[in-house]
A and B are shown apart, each in its own frame.
Chain A
Amino acid sequence: MREIALHMADIAENSLAAGAARIKLSVMIDRAADRLITAVEDNGRGMDADTLYRCTDPFMTTRTARRVGLGIALFKLSAEQSGGSFTIRSEQGRGTRAEAAYIISGIDRAPLGSIADTMAALIAANPETDFTLEYAADGKAFAFATDTTPYNDRTPAFAAAAKKEIQQRIDEINGGAEPI
């Protein structure tokens, strides 16, 4: 995966597969501390202790179409390659939260990439799921949520408008700072 935002789209696919009605993506940039924390959280069916223990293993999947599951293993690896860390918590019947923490200056860190594209793709393809983005950078923050938009208005045009709005707010918050 060339972007951290692509990993997030992939981790959100697990949430959708787990029947989540609400999915939250978060991005926290702290340039002074040289840290970037990204997380995907859902209220899907969660995992039992054994599945949770084994889910970071690339040879573990509950899929039937293919015998390996790569999503979580790759997200974890992307964080670790930057010198950061990965944690995943899950509770059956309640949901799952996967968090990847990166060292911004880590030489093998992938670029964050387009969070607006990831959000737009998820919003466009899943009109019955509520998505939230919490985005913070160096003390400034904003949130975007689809919750108040009724199903009938969750059209491709709505998703395209969401993409623009999210990108605008990300640009505002980061000011002229170099993208990470």
Chain B
Amino acid sequence: MRSIQELEAIRESTLENMTLRKEHNGTRIVVGMATCGIAAGARGVLTAFMEELAERKLIHVALTQMGCIGMCHLEPIVEVHQPGHETVTYVKVTPDMARRIVREHIEGGSPIEEYTLSHYRAK
């Protein structure tokens, strides 16, 4: 049986989540999860985003998945959409890169140029 204090704590954190989720700040992280993405490791990338967002309590950020966008050889592909900013496309993403994207781009506000599609193309 849970104590009243525990129940109260759960209720409070739920209420907190609800307001934050309603106040969704429009940031969306989208992971390519078609066959090509999954075969290249997209599931581990998605769960790395999940864990990093959970740990940092970034519940105003939406995490979603998408199908194949026609660049199978560059999977896992991740797009970061933010209102007022151009979409940033990251290619060949690993779980470690995903955690860094959360810290530096989502939290810190600076996209990681060396991971992007435009950087990859310029090489």
Interface 0/1 of B30-42, CB less than 8 Å to A: 0101111011000
Secondary structure of the B side of the interface?
helix
Chain A interface, number of residues (Cβ within 8 angstroms)? 31
Q: Are A71 and B34 in contact (CB under 8 A)?
A: yes
**B21 to chain A: closest residue by CB:** A152
Known: A125-B31, A159-B54. A117 touches B68 (CB 8 A): no
In the bound complex, residues from chain A placing their C-beta under 8 Å from that of B33 are: 9-10, 13, 121, 125
Interface 0/1 of B51-87, CB less than 8 Å to A: 1011001110011110111101000000000000000
The 6 residue pairs across chains A and B that have the minimum distance between CB atoms: A65-B70, A124-B50, A156-B53, A157-B54, A125-B65, A156-B54
Instruction: Jot down 29 A-B pairs with beta carbons below 8 A, ordered by A.
Output: A1-B39, A9-B43, A13-B67, A17-B67, A65-B67, A65-B68, A66-B36, A70-B35, A70-B36, A71-B35, A74-B35, A117-B47, A120-B50, A121-B46, A124-B63, A125-B63, A125-B64, A151-B21, A152-B14, A152-B17, A152-B18, A152-B21, A153-B17, A155-B21, A156-B50, A156-B51, A157-B57, A160-B50, A163-B47
